[in-house]
Chain A
């Protein structure tokens, strides 16, 4: 069964860029027709889909975050990544990577990212 694991800094300063990586194990990132998503969870706002990427680099971002989000994929390392620029305290959340573009059948354990000076 495929497993996903997020990694990256747990603390980011305001106005800086949040960078996270998701490593996929137990399966291929480039076969099966799967898309790979980022989702975040803020206790106050619930779950929010950030966007998805396909193994060929095609992406689709949530319009509300589109101007600040860049996703990338490295198939040789079986990793995909999220960059969110110009962060504020409102971006503090648990960030999950997940498999799927519409519904999400495998999730990473999540990583808490706090935006604070």
Chain B
């Protein structure tokens, strides 16, 4: 089972700043099948990115994903007030079980 470790646990930034979130896998993620989700408290996770860099339907282009192998990044180019939430990475490149990272909380500074 692939373990995903996200860093930092908490990121404090201001609106308009750039956010860089990291996700590291314990072994290479097959076909770079990695996704990112945003979760606002009290709501279900929302798919942002799949296949490392493909944006899901309706996701603004300020969200971008990159990486390969064991190191992946979610970048939010200019933070909007609604972007402050918890972000999870998830891998689906190996046989199930597909696993999630522990999350990074993006909070307003």
Residues on A close to B: CB < 8 A?
Answer: 46-49, 60, 62-64, 96, 98, 102-105, 107-110
Q: How far is the CA of A105 from the CA of B38 in the complex (A)?
A: 12
Q: How far is the CA of A110 from the CA of B50 in the complex (A)?
A: 22
Given contacts A103-B50, A104-B47, A109-B43, contact A49 B35 (CB under 8 A): no
Residues on B close to A: CB < 8 A?
Answer: 33, 35, 37, 43-47, 50, 56-57, 88, 90, 92, 96-103
Q: Is the CB of A46 within 8 A of B97?
A: no
30 contacts between A and B (CB under 8 A): A46-B88, A46-B100, A46-B101, A46-B103, A47-B45, A47-B88, A47-B100, A49-B96, A49-B98, A49-B99, A49-B100, A60-B96, A62-B96, A63-B96, A64-B97, A96-B44, A98-B44, A102-B92, A102-B98, A103-B47, A103-B90, A103-B92, A104-B35, A104-B47, A105-B56, A105-B57, A107-B46, A108-B44, A109-B44, A110-B44
Q: How far is the CA of A96 from the CA of B45 in the complex (A)?
A: 9
Q: Chain A binding site: helix, strand, loop or mixed by DSSP?
A: loop
Chain B residue with Cβ nearest A100:
B47
Q: How far is the CA of A25 from the CA of B54 in the complex (A)?
A: 26
Q: Chain B binding site: helix, strand, loop or mixed by DSSP?
A: loop
Taking CB atoms, residues of chain B closer than 8 Å to A49 are 96-100
Taking CB atoms, residues of chain B closer than 8 Å to A62 are 96-97
CB distance from A72 to the nearest CB of B (A): 19
CB distance from A7 to the nearest CB of B (A): 15
CB distance from B55 to the nearest CB of A (A): 12
Q: Which of B35, B97, B99, B102 contacts A103 (CB 8 A)?
A: B35
Instruction: Give 4 closest A-B pairs by Cβ, nearest first.
Output: A102-B92, A107-B44, A47-B100, A103-B35
